[in-house]
Structure 1
Amino acid sequence: MPDTLLHIVLIVVMPPLLLGVIAKTKAAFAGRTGAPFLQPYYDLSRLLRKGTVTSDTTTLIFRSGPVITLAATLFAALLVPLGKHAAPVSFEGDMILFAYLFALGRFFTTLAALDTGSSFEGMGAAREVSFACLAEPTLFFALITMTRLSGTLSLTPMLNYLSPSVWMGTGAALLLLLAGLYIVLLAENCRIPFDDPTTHLELTMIHEVMVLDHSGPYFGCILYGAALKLYLLGALFMNIALPLTSGNSVADWGLFILSMLILAVSIGIVESVMARLRLIRIPQLLIAAMILTAFSFVLVVR
C-alpha cells in the first residue's frame, strides 16, 4: 500500500519537474541562469486560474479533447512500474492497453485540433498522425522484444525481470532496443531534433500547432498531459537502461527518482548540442528507430 501511494504521488507531482530540469540544463549550456526548476509548476498554476476563450466554430469535441487525453495518460500511468516497484494495475496483456491509451490520447488531441476548422491546426494534426504511424511500431517492437525475453505480456513482471545478468546475456539486443526507444521518446514528446516545444512558427510546428486555440485550464491539461507522457516513456526507458535494485524499498525509490533526473539532463544535453531536423528527415530517423528495435527482436528470437 505505501508503494502504491508513493507511485500515485510521483505520477501527480514529478512530471513537471522533468521539464524544469530540461530547461535548466539547456540554460546552463547557453550560459544563462534560466528559469527556476519549479517554473512548470508556476505555469500550470497560472493557467488553472485563467479563464477560457473558445471559438464559436468549435463543439464539445474541442473542450473534451484535453480532458480525455489527460485521463487516458493518467490511466496509462497506473500500468507502468516505477523502478523495481509493481504498478498499481497489472494484468496479462496490459502492455497493449498501455500503448493504445497513448493512441487514444493522440486521437482526441487530433480530433480537437480538427474541430477548430483551422488550416494550421489541420496541418499539425496531419503531421502528428503521420509520424505516429512510424513511432508506434517502434514501441511495439520494443515491447514484444521484452516479452520474448521475460515470457510475459504484463509490464510489471516484464520490466522487473531485467537485471545486470540479463544485460550480460542480451546486451546487444537491449542496446538496439534502447536506441530506438530513445528516438521515440524524443519524437513522441515533441523534443528537439524532431520538434521544438517553445517555437511559435506555425509552418514548422508539429504538436504545438494543434493546441494553439486552447487556453486556461484546457491548455493546462494539455501541458500537464505532455509532461506526464514524457515521464511515463522515460520511466519505461530507464527501467530497461538501469535495472538497478538495492534490496531496500526506500532506496529503490530514490534510485528511480535519480535515474529520471539523469534522463531529463540527457534530454537537455541533446537539445543543446543538436539542431532541429528538417521535416523530411524526421520520417527517416523514425524508420531507423523502427529498424533498430526490429533487429533487437531478431537477436532474441532463437
Structure 2
Amino acid sequence: MNLPLGLAHAALAFGMPVLMVGLVNRVKALWAGRKGPPLLQLGWDLLRLLRKQPVFSNVATPVFRAGAWAILAASLLAAMIAPMLGSFAPLEFHHDFIFFAYTLGFARLFLMLSALDVGSAFEGMGAAREASFSAFVEPAFFLLIGTASVTTGYTSFAALIGHLHESELFRWLALPLVGVLFILLQAEASRVPVDDPLTHLELTMVHEVMILDHSGPELAAMQYAAALKMTLYAGLIAALLNPFDPLDAPLACVAASLAIMACVAVAVGCVESLVARLQMRLVPQYLMLASATAALCLGGAGWWVS
C-alpha cells in the first residue's frame, strides 16, 4: 500500500464527515436567510457528547450497548474500502465491493437490533422502515457496480470506479451514475427527501427514532457514523468524476476530491432547502428510480460492449 496516499485517504475519510455536515447546515442556513452554525459545529457536539454520562434503559441488553460501537466500527471499515481518491483505496482486493456493501449492511443490522432491543414499538416502527428502504438500496448499488464492471473489466471497487472515466462510455454514463449515487447517499445517510435528520414528527421519523434511547458517547458514535456514510457516498461521486490519477498526481487528486465532495455537500444542502420530504409511500418509488436508472446504464453498457 502507498503509505502517503493511505494517510491522505484516512484523513479525508475521517475528517470530512464533520466538514460535510457543517457545509450542509451552512447552505441550509443561507437559504433560510440565517448565518448558520460554524462549519465544525458537529465536531464540538461530538466532543460534548463524549463527556456526558450515558443513560441506559432498564430492559436494554448488551446488544444495545454494543450496537453503536459495532455501527461505528463497520462504517470505519467501509471507509477503508471505499475508493475516495479514484483508483486507490487502503483495502483493495477482488470483489471487495461485496464486502463493502455488506459491511454497511452489518451496520444497518445492528442499528435495527439496537432499536428493537429496548422494546419500544415506536423504535420498532423505525426499524421496520429502515429494513424496507434498505431492500431498495442494495439492488441499485450492485447494478451500478455491474455497469462499471462491464465498462472497465476490473473486479475491485477502486479500479471499477477510478478507471471508469477512461472509457468511451463515460460521457454517457457519468450523469446517471452520479444521480444513482446521490440517491443512495440520501438513503444511507438519512437525508431529505428520503428522511429528515431534524424531524421530530412521530409518523415520519426513521433514523432519528431508532437512536432516541442513545445518549452520551453512544449517541456521538451514531451521529458520526451517519455523517461518515454521507462522506463515503460523496467520496464515491468524487472518485467517479476525479480526472487525476492518485499515483501520478496525488496532490491534484486529493484537492479535486475535496472540491467535489464539498460540491456534493452544497448540493445536499440545496436539496434539503428546496425539496420537501417525500411521503412515506413514495420513498420506495424514489429508491426504485435509482435501481431503474442503474439497470438502464447496465443494459446500455452491455449492448455497447457486445
**Is TM > 0.5 for Structure 1 vs Structure 2?**
yes
Instruction: For 1:127-276, list aligned pairs within 5 A.
Output: 127-163=129-165, 165-166=166-167, 168-240=168-240, 242-245=241-244, 247-276=248-277
Amino acid at match of 1:177: L
Structure 1 Cα separation of the partners of residues 118 and 129 of structure 2? 16
Structure 2 Cα separation of the partners of residues 293 and 63 of structure 1? 38
Instruction: Give the 3-state SS of the residue equivalent to 2:164 in structure 1.
Output: coil
Shift of 1:85: 5.4
CA contact (8 A) 2:64 2:118 kept: yes
CA contact (8 A) 2:242 2:257 kept: no
Structure 2 Cα separation of the partners of residues 268 and 56 of structure 1? 39
Is 1:282 aligned to residue 283 of structure 2? Answer: yes
Structure 2 Cα separation of the partners of residues 191 and 266 of structure 1? 12
Partner of 1:27: 29
Amino acid at match of 2:243: L
Structure 1 Cα separation of the partners of residues 43 and 120 of structure 2? 30
Shift of 1:203: 1.6
- Number of corresponding residues: 299
From 15, 18, 29, the equivalent of 2:17 is 15
Partner of 2:95: 93
CA contact (8 A) 2:242 2:253 kept: no
Shift of 1:60: 0.3
Structure 2 Cα separation of the partners of residues 88 and 188 of structure 1? 22
Shift of 1:90: 0.5
Instruction: Give the 3-state SS of the residue equivalent to 2:136 in structure 1.
Output: helix
Partner of 1:63: 65
CA contact (8 A) 1:4 1:88 kept: yes
Q: Which moved more, 1:231-240 or 1:134-143?
A: 231-240
Task: Report percent identity of matched pairs.
Answer: 41
Partner of 2:294: 293
CA contact (8 A) 2:82 2:236 kept: yes
Shift of 1:198: 0.8
Shift of 1:194: 1.2
Which sections of structure 2, spanning at least 5 residues, go unmatched? none
Structure 2 Cα separation of the partners of residues 275 and 93 of structure 1? 37
Structure 1 Cα separation of the partners of residues 198 and 141 of structure 2? 26
CA RMSD of aligned residues (A): 1.3
| Pair 192,269 (structure 1): closer, same or farther in 2 beyond 3 Å | same
Shift of 1:170: 4.1
CA contact (8 A) 2:115 2:123 kept: yes
Structure 2 Cα separation of the partners of residues 248 and 6 of structure 1? 13
